Amino acid sequence: MPEIKILGDSPTTEDGLGFDPYVNILLEAINNFDATSPLTIGIHGSWGSGKTSLMRMLEKGFEDDNNVKTIWFNAWAHGREEPIGLALLQQVLVEFQKEEKTKEKVKDLIENVGKLLTDAALRKTTGIRFKEAKELFKNSIEVKNTLRNDFETVIGECLPDKRLVVFIDDLDRCLPEKTIEILEVIKLFLDVPRCVFVIGVEKEVIERGIEVRYKSGEQGIPISGKDYIEKIIQVPFTLPPIREVDMTRFIESLGISEKERGYAEVVAKGTGCNPRKVKMFLNTLRIRQVIAERTGEGIKPELSAKLFVIEYTFPDFYKDVVKYREQDFFCKLEKLARGEAGEELGKELEGSETLQKYYKNEDLKSVLKNDPLFSRIDIEPFSS
Residues 206 and 183: their CA atoms lie apart, in Å, by 9
CB of 271 within 8 A of CB of 281? yes
Q: Are residues 227 and 252 in the same domain?
A: no
**Domain annotation covers residue 60:** yes
CB count in 10 Å sphere of residue 73: 22
**Domain annotation covers residue 166:** yes
pLDDT recorded at residue 323: 63
Reported for 254-259, long-range contacts at CB under 8 A and 24+ positions apart, including other chains, are 254/7, 254/279, 254/282, 255/5, 256/282, 259/302, 259/305
Q: Are residues 146 and 81 in the same domain?
A: yes
pTM higher than the cut 0.85: no
**Final residue in a domain of this structure, among 184, 206, 238:** 238
CB of 39 within 8 A of CB of 196? yes
**Domain annotation covers residue 8:** no
pLDDT in tens, 119-177: 544 444 444 343 444 444 444 445 555 677 777 777 777 777 788 999 999 887 887 77
Q: Which residues contact 154 (CB under 8 A, 6 or more apart)?
A: 93, 96, 102, 105, 106, 109
CB count in 10 Å sphere of residue 128: 12
Q: Are residues 161 and 304 in the same domain?
A: no
pLDDT recorded at residue 73: 92
CB of 40 within 8 A of CB of 235? yes
Q: Are residues 234 and 248 in the same domain?
A: no
**Domain annotation covers residue 168:** yes
CB of 198 within 8 A of CB of 52? no
pLDDT recorded at residue 138: 44
**Domain annotation covers residue 315:** yes
Q: Are residues 268 and 325 in the same domain?
A: yes
Residues 164 and 111: their CA atoms lie apart, in Å, by 21
CB of 184 within 8 A of CB of 70? no
209 HSE (CA, 13 A, CB side): 24
Residues 187 and 56: their CA atoms lie apart, in Å, by 24
**Final residue in a domain of this structure, among 238, 259, 287:** 238
Residues with pLDDT less than 50, the chain: 120-141
Number of domains, the chain: 2
DSSP-derived 3-state class of residue 236: strand
Q: Are residues 39 and 134 in the same domain?
A: yes
**β pairing state of 195-200 and 163-169:** parallel
**Domain annotation covers residue 2:** no
CATH number reported for the structural domain that contains residue 59 in this entry? 3.40.50
Q: Are residues 316 and 197 in the same domain?
A: no
Residues 74 and 171: their CA atoms lie apart, in Å, by 8
pLDDT recorded at residue 219: 56
In sequence order, what are the beta bridge partners of 68? 163
CB of 89 within 8 A of CB of 122? no
CB of 340 within 8 A of CB of 333? no
Q: Are residues 331 and 254 in the same domain?
A: yes
**Final residue in a domain of this structure, among 175, 204, 238:** 238
Q: Are residues 44 and 108 in the same domain?
A: yes
φ, ψ (nearest 5 deg) of residue 126? -125, 5
**Domain, as residue range, for 209:** 20-238
Q: Are residues 110 and 212 in the same domain?
A: yes
Taking the alpha carbons at both ends of the chain, their separation in whole angstroms is 23
Q: Are residues 81 and 183 in the same domain?
A: yes
pLDDT recorded at residue 382: 59
**Domain annotation covers residue 301:** yes
φ, ψ (nearest 5 deg) of residue 190? -110, 0
Q: Are residues 169 and 262 in the same domain?
A: no
